Structure 1
Amino acid sequence: MKSDTLVRGKFNPLVRPFLKWAGGKRQLLPEIVKYVPKPIKHTYYEPFIGGGALLFELQPQKAVINDSNTELINCYKVIRDSLDELIEELSKDKYTNSERSYYGMRDLDRSRKEYENLSEVEKAARIIYLNKTCYNGLFRVNSQGQFNVPFGRYKNPNILDNAVLRAVNKYLKRDTIELLNQDFAKAVQSAKKGDFVYLDPPYDPVSETASFTGYDVNGFNRDEQERLKEEFDALHKRGCKVMLSNSCTDFIRDLYKDDQYTIIKVRATRSINSNALKRGMVDEVLVLNYEIQDK
């Protein structure tokens, strides 16, 4: 049951992620929601939106959502502004669940000229199609910004989820939902006292071989993690309520060891890994700058 203190307005269960996203929070949502401020008094900010699991779970009336991944934000904007055209595009025969169609669509970004000639609707349809049919539902690009995940060989993927797209469209069309495509620090510049900011950056790798920063062509290394900590501190000083998710590494735990912050260890299910043996339960942390309320 959804709490009225969390969701101001009618909750729609069909408003949910339209993409499977590496690092997505759907499995961890019950744990995260326990610690979300009740109520969210002002504006909800999420500068690393990804698949949007927490946003769609809470469905706040007023939100500022952002991601540095231009293709991802284009998907959100097309669903909001050009849904009928997107549905019409995804209904075309070229978006079939076949290896030939998949690699033909995937390889469009090998030619910058060919890719740049695509409309915004075609770019969004391509990403949704690739995400639904690629191996393990993984969004990953190489250093040239080219989508490089192999074909998934699923029997019957739901490439065009009409009901979910229409529900997400209705939610995003509210004039109180703002979509941005910029650096995380710029995305939260307008956050003020009483606003809730959820930070879900690319995670600190748990080992030297575990690093996965291929969501766009820009990596998110430990220098970026430290810059994010500075932003966390700045938001705290402004009176914002801030929650951060990250790996349970010594580096992250040490970075946020300040007395005014609370670090909570949680168990999460990770289903995306190139090695099937490394999927399963892992430790993560939630960092809060506010007192924990009754759960």
Structure 2
Amino acid sequence: MPRISRAVAPVKAGPFLKWAGGKGRLLGQYEPLFPKRFNRYFEPFVGAGAVFFHLEPQKAHLSDTNPDLIACYQVIRDELPALIEVLRMYRHDKDFYYHVRELNPADLSAVQRAARMIFLNKTCFNGLWRVNRRGQFNVPFGDYKNPKILDEDNLHAVSQALQGVEIQLRSFDEVVSKARRGDFIYLDPPYHPVSSTSNFTSYGADDFKPDDQIRLAAAFRRLDAKGCKVMLSNSDTPFIRELYEDYRIEQVWCRRAINRDAAKRGAISEVVVMNY
């Protein structure tokens, strides 16, 4: 599909989902940390894509291990009119919410699956995407007055930004092997827990364990050895600092909105690791 000029978009593209660990609020602190020049852009934990939409790279590879999320990106890129048509039929109603929640994504078309995810994300409690061990979305209804289920302007801008972008259901191991010298890889994995009670890795059915953090650090070093530019976000813990002690580490501060306890949504420190 030919690339469409971004100038046609009525608005600048931004995240179309609310996502745990989303980086929208950190972009101001991240801006001076991004490399000034790079070739291709890789983001193997794309999530809501705030960094991708901010940078607007000309050549990009986006991936994640969440099949619903990747289906959303692919449908917005390739089948936006059909997606908008389905979303227009969705309504903010408690009974309808639970009906949609109980639908089996495996029984839905790609467009229906993407619409389901966007709808549930916009209308569920606290905008939290969480699945159980069987991969079933289990967040209760959110009692909002008038949630914006269909943000048509942003979806058009997102679709435009995604033209020509490679979007795949892949693990970080598979993605980083494609990177070459001069490419920029942004790694935003599920964070290492800062305490035994704060482990929030509800991006999918599988937890991201300490061994996975160690594997990711090894991948970081391989990318560094290739001559890639690598940037990683994670929690500010001794474990993470030790994993990346040979690299530049900057501290940023973030106020987390996704927490069941409103009193615990205060500012916390995070680290940004770079090899440049």
Residue 95 of structure 2: aligned partner: 100
Residue 24 of structure 1: aligned partner: 22
Q: Does structure 2 conserve the Cα–Cα contact (< 8 Å) formed by 1:47 and 1:65?
A: yes
Residue 112 of structure 2: aligned partner: 122
Identify which of 224, 239, 246 aligns with 1:251: 239
User: What is the distance in 1 between the residues matched to 2:202 and 2:13?
Assistant: 26
- When the two chains are superposed, the root-mean-square deviation of aligned CA atoms in Å is 1.4
Identify which of 206, 226, 229 aligns with 2:217: 229
User: What is the distance in 2 between the residues matched to 1:43 and 1:75?
Assistant: 22
Matched, 1:262 2:248: yes
Q: Does structure 2 conserve the Cα–Cα contact (< 8 Å) formed by 1:11 and 1:59?
A: no
User: What is the distance in 1 between the residues matched to 2:97 and 2:54?
Assistant: 31
Residue-pair matches, total: 271
Identify which of 155, 161, 174 aligns with 1:165: 155
User: What is the distance in 2 between the residues matched to 1:140 and 1:285?
Assistant: 24
The SS at the match of 1:151 is: coil
Residue 112 of structure 1: aligned partner: none
Q: What 5-or-longer segments of structure 1 have no aligned partner?
A: 1-7, 110-114, 291-295
Q: What 5-or-longer segments of structure 2 have no aligned partner?
A: none
Q: Deviations over 1:44-98 (max 9, x none)?
A: 1100000000000111111111101011000000001110100001111xx2111
TM-score (norm 1): 0.89
User: What is the distance in 1 between the residues matched to 2:71 and 2:237?
Assistant: 33
Identify which of 62, 77, 98 aligns with 1:65: 62
Matched, 1:283 2:273: no
Q: Deviation above 4 Å: which 4+ runs of structure 1?
A: 8-13
Deviation at 1:117, TM superposition (A): 2.1
Q: Does structure 1 conserve the Cα–Cα contact (< 8 Å) formed by 2:6 and 2:160?
A: no
Task: Note the 1:185-204 alignment, pairs <5 A.
Answer: 185-204=173-192
Q: Does structure 2 conserve the Cα–Cα contact (< 8 Å) formed by 1:28 and 1:269?
A: no
The SS at the match of 2:103 is: helix
Letter in 2 for 1:135: F
Deviation at 1:189, TM superposition (A): 1.3
User: What is the distance in 2 between the residues matched to 1:242 and 1:280?
Assistant: 28
User: What is the distance in 2 between the residues matched to 1:199 and 1:159?
Assistant: 29
Q: Does structure 2 conserve the Cα–Cα contact (< 8 Å) formed by 1:200 and 1:246?
A: yes
The SS at the match of 2:270 is: strand
Identity %: 52
User: What is the distance in 2 between the residues matched to 1:117 and 1:285?
Assistant: 41
Q: Does structure 2 conserve the Cα–Cα contact (< 8 Å) formed by 1:140 and 1:148?
A: yes
Task: Note the 1:30-179 alignment, pairs <5 A.
Answer: 30-39=28-37, 41-92=38-89, 95-109=90-104, 115-173=105-163, 175=164, 177-179=165-167
Deviation at 1:276, TM superposition (A): 1.1
Deviation at 1:10, TM superposition (A): 5.3
User: What is the distance in 2 between the residues matched to 1:190 and 1:108?
Assistant: 36
Q: Deviations over 1:237-291 (max 9, x none)?
A: 0000100000001110111111xx101111111100111111121100000101x
Q: Does structure 1 conserve the Cα–Cα contact (< 8 Å) formed by 2:234 and 2:272?
A: yes
User: What is the distance in 1 between the residues matched to 2:120 and 2:12?
Assistant: 22
